[in-house]
Every structure is written in C-alpha cells, then in structure tokens.
Amino acid sequence: MATSNISLDMVINLPADSTGSLLQILKIVQAQNVSVLHVETRPSKKSDFSDVFLKLSASNQDVLDQTVRLVEALPGVKVQVAVGSPHQHLKGIPLTAREEMANFPDVPWFATTMQELIEHNSKTLQCGEELGSDHPSFTDAAYRSRRQTFADIGAKYVLGQPIPYVEYNAEETATWGEVYRQLTNLYPTHACETYNRNFQLLIKHLGLSEHKIPQMEDISNFLRSRTGFRLRPSPGLVDFRDYLAGLAFRVFQATQYIRHHSSPQYTPEPDICHEYLGHVPLFCDPEFAQFSQEIGLASLGAPDEWIEKLGNLYWYTVEFGLCRENNGANTRVYGGALLSSFGELERCLTDDAKRVPLDPDVVAATPYPITRFQDVYFVAESFQDMREKLAGWITQIPRPFSLRYNAYTSSVEVLHKKEHLRGLVRDIESKFHINLCKRLLSE
C-alpha cells in the first residue's frame, strides 16, 4: 500500500553572494534523499542578503527534521521558517492550516497566517532607479534617486510596525495638487455613487485636499477603523500573486512615491495618486472590502494559468471597470486606475472609447495594455452586478480545497474534510444565534 509523502516549506536567509551556501544546502537535501518540489530566491528585507524558498518532500518526518537540523548547522545560514516540521522550528507560527497543506504538495505555496505573510518578502517587479527607457522619468536622475528612497522604505518595512513618515517636497506636492484638482472636478459626473460617498469620508475625517499629500500611516489607521484593511508600503509594482495574497488578509500593498511631474495625467505603474485617490475610497466600503478579500482568497494556491486569468479580470474591473447607475441611465466609473488618471477618466465615457457588457469569461481571456489607454472597457449592469459575476466566476478556479479567513486568528482555514464543514456549520449557527438575540433585544 502506497504511503503519501510529507512536505516541508523552508525560508532560508543567506548572504546575497553565498552561491556556495545554496549549493551546500541542495547537496544536504540530495544526500538525505529528500525531493525538492520548488526552489526560489528573492531579495531579503536585510540589505546584502537573499531569501531562499524551498518546498521539500519526503516519506519520513524524521528525514525532514534531520535535513532542517543539518541546514541550520551551516555557518552564516539562518532558517527563518520551517513549516511542517516539529514545533521547535516554527517560531510561533500556528500549525493548523500549514499542516493541512502538507496534503497538497503540488499546490503553489501561500501564506496561511498573518505571521507567514509578514515573513514573506513580496516579489517587486519594478521600482527605484532601474525604471525602463519608456518611463517618463528615464532621463531625470533626481527623480529616480527619490524613487529609490521610497523603494528602500518599502523594502525595509515590516508589517505591523508604524509606517514611516515621509516629507514630500514642493515638486511632489505640486504634482499631487494638480492631479487632485483635475480628478475632483470629474468625480461628481464620472465616479460611481459608492466611490463618491466614501471619498467624502476621507475629506471629512482625514482632511484630504490638494494642498498636502496624506501620510500612509494615517490612511491605514482610518481604513482599519472602517473595514479592517491596512496599508503596507511597497517598493514598487508587486508580483500579482503576492498582491492578491495580501488582499486575502485585508492587506493592501501600496506605493509611497508620486508620478513624474511631466506626466501628471497618467502613470504606467501605481503611485500615491493611484493608491490614495483610486483605490482607498472603495476600500472604505464594507461590501467592496469583503469582495476584495474574496478575490484574494480565491488566488491562494490557484494554478499559474488561473492567476493570469484572474489578473485580466482584476484589471478590467477593479482597475478599469465601469458600471451603470440610476436604472441604467448613467454609466459611471469604479476602477481605481481610471479614478486616478484624469486623462483616461475623461476619455472612457466619451464616444471615442469602446465599451462592451461585462462577461467574466470574455474578460478573463482578454490581454491588456499597460503603457497606453485601454482599447476596451467592460460595463457591469451595476456595482452589485460586477461583484456577483466575479464571485460566480472565481468558483471555477480548480483547487482541491476551499479557504476561509478567520478574523479572530488572522489566519486562513483550509477546508477539505467533513469535520471542517461541520465546524463551519457550527460557526454559522453561532453567528445566526447572536444576530437573532440582537434582533430580539432590539424589539
């Protein structure tokens, strides 16, 4: 009778130039007859270091334990996380969901707890001084240097700590002011009702205005008080799988820099105008926050090809989506990229723009341009219609389990056994009884 293998996830901190150490680690793994299911290296939060992600598999737990001990004994090597091995290797990370994931060794790794999300260093695709030749700032050395300063803040930040205060200069504030004035002139006639309602909350409670760039810490604290979402400063454009994984934990990865002053009407990658003006108002809305978290949960463990499809859907809805309001009489914008780009926001509702009904299957198969205005915009029958259609579509994503976020423990629960479902039913019944008691007391 065949026995199922046991898997182990490791995060190893190495000096950036220690290619030899990585080879030593792989030789140890090979000598222990342990299979390597996945290996990946990424820059660490610590300068001059890198993180090595290893997913290992063996038929015997003792073999995996011995492998961890041998790796930990190497000079200059620090095993930050070893999930799946005994408690002494776990450094306080809850085991439940991670142990369940040992049953699915072929599923892409994802954080199952807030602590694992904190430990995980998201892959940044573009930031700082390495901006491409097609970027508006390519010949502006001062701007590129400033971008690197913001990238360094994001790279060093640890989720849960206060977000560092940023002193924006006069040129940055002027760019913010121009973008803010242009956009707020369009919002009453172009933005959807949900957006406009929550934008006024930011003005009322945070003093949002054209005269001063708000601090990310202030926005994050306000968001947490409204919907439980928090901001995490990012060095730049984040890998989409990592970005969605943050949403599953109600963490929105956001940048702190601003677009180049020569191109205030559009930016090829997210900046503070995109984050604060485009997305934050809708993250203040409880229903949209819940919808965003559900998209994040749907991405966890999804195959790569479905992440690409989900990326197309996210792009054409959450970033560039339109919806009808007032019984279909008006078309309005809810997409964050449009609501932070006054040039495209104005264009998308004109006769020059191609608008078609929202069909999730069509959207999922439609590639998108990044460096120019969109070729097509997808229109939902209502804001609610968009949420319902995407919620229906994500149920197609093939996974051998379901996921639920536990707000009490800030962790993801893996549901694939009968006892998991019984526990879920008990939780639903408990919430029903609480709500019933509240209703009866109010009568």
CA atoms within 13 A on the CB side of 287: 10
Indicate the residue type of 99.
Answer: E
Q: How far apart are CA 389 and CA 359, in angstroms?
A: 8
Degrees to nearest 5, angle at CA 201 with 379 and 255? 70
For residues 48 and 78, the answer to whether their CB atoms sit within 8 Å is: no
Burial bucket for residue 24 (CB in 10 Å: 0-12, 13-18, 19+): middle
For residues 302 and 309, the answer to whether their CB atoms sit within 8 Å is: no
Write down the residue that tokens 């930040």 correspond to: 157
DSSP class of residue 35 equals: E
Q: How far apart are CA 109 and CA 9, in angstroms?
A: 8
Three-state SS for 294-339 is HHHHHHCCCCHHHHHHHHHHHHHHHHCCEEEECCCCEEEECCCCHH
For residues 3 and 49, the answer to whether their CB atoms sit within 8 Å is: no
Contacts of 22 (CB under 8 A, 6+ apart): 14, 41, 52
User: Residues for the chain: how many in total?
Assistant: 443
Helix (H, G, I), strand (E, B) or coil at 79: strand
For residues 35 and 56, the answer to whether their CB atoms sit within 8 Å is: yes
Write down the residue that tokens 């097509």 correspond to: 376
Q: Residue 385: what are its φ and ψ, rounded to 5°?
A: -60, -40
Give the catalytic positions in this structure.
274, 279, 319, 340
Indicate the residue type of 275.
Answer: E
For residues 128 and 144, the answer to whether their CB atoms sit within 8 Å is: yes
Q: How far apart are CA 59 and CA 33, in angstroms?
A: 10
CA atoms within 13 A on the CB side of 72: 13
